[in-house]
Amino acid sequence: MKKIKLLFLSFLFLFIENSISKEYEYQNFIKNNELIPLQQSSSMENVDIIEFSSFSCSHCAAFHNETLIELKKSELFEHINYYVVDFPLNQAAFYASIIASCDQSIRPSYVDLVYANYDIWTKAASGEKMIELLNSYGLQLGLEDEQLQSCLTNEALQNEILSLQVASQETFGVESTPTFLINGEKIQGNRPSTEFIKIIKKELNK
């Protein structure tokens, strides 16, 4: 009987330790990398969602253009601190990530605009046309051309994006997009909004 009790207590301790470790890990990831949420919760009770995404990823575009829009209509959205970490899977996505990181004041709108126009810029007739479109979305939102060009040649900014991608791989094992952390719990791939809502409700009721 004592052995069973000791085993149960050991299991419980490991479960609690693992839960605390996950929470500590993702919260420190946010803090250490000075991540700025695209959506800041207006409630004392909130859930942190980190999305690791690539602008060239069709499943990421589907999340932003369908699932996220449905989540925004939910009363739960005000309880969400929503972060997007760039995880570029090719040169086009990396290029868009540089522009998205150029000015934090337009980042949320740029992310929305690039995904809303996913079927346009990803099917551009040439690489030059693709670049032209990605640039135009930033300029539409208020970036000055001089500021845009400065960001595109900023090696420190580029290294910051790539370093964050490496940190995401090493810390959370992110390999594909979209990948989500909901209060530290890892979820891979786009899911129906109902599934996200279910998880968010569970986290809020803990």
Question: For 133-160, what is each residue's pLDDT tens digit?
Answer: 999 999 999 999 999 999 999 999 999 9
Predicted pLDDT of residue 12: 38
pLDDT tens digits for range 175-199: 999 999 999 999 999 999 999 999 9
- Overall CATH class of domain 37-204: alpha beta
Q: Which two tokens stand for residue 1?
A: 């009987």
Q: pLDDT value at position 18?
A: 43
Taking the CB of residue 100, how many other CB atoms lie within 10 A of it? 26
Instruction: Give the Cα separation of 73 and 141 in Å (integer).
Output: 24
Handedness of CA 42, 69, 113, 174 (dihedral sign): positive
Q: Which of 18-22, 56-60, 66-70, 94-98 has the lowest mean pLDDT?
A: 18-22
Q: Are 81 and 41 in contact (CB under 8 A)?
A: yes
Whether omega before 178 lies within 30 degrees of 0, making that bond cis, reads: yes
Quote the strand ranges of the chain, DSSP E: 47-53, 80-86, 179-182, 185-188
Cα separations (Å) of 118 from 56, 77, 133, 143? 8, 24, 11, 20
Residue with tokens 């968010």: 200
Query: How is residue 9 written in tokens?
Result: 């207590």
In terms of pLDDT, which residue wins out, 169 or 24? 169
Distance CA 70, CA 194 (A): 9
What is the residue whose two structure tokens read 């809502």? 197
Torsion sign, CA atoms 44, 46, 52, 56: negative
Which of 130 and 43 is assigned the larger pLDDT?
Answer: 130
Quote the pTM value: 0.87
What is the percent of the chain with per-residue pLDDT over 90, rounded to a whole number? 85
Name the burial class of residue 141, with classes exposed (0-12), middle (13-18) and buried (19+) by CB atoms within 10 angstroms of its CB. middle
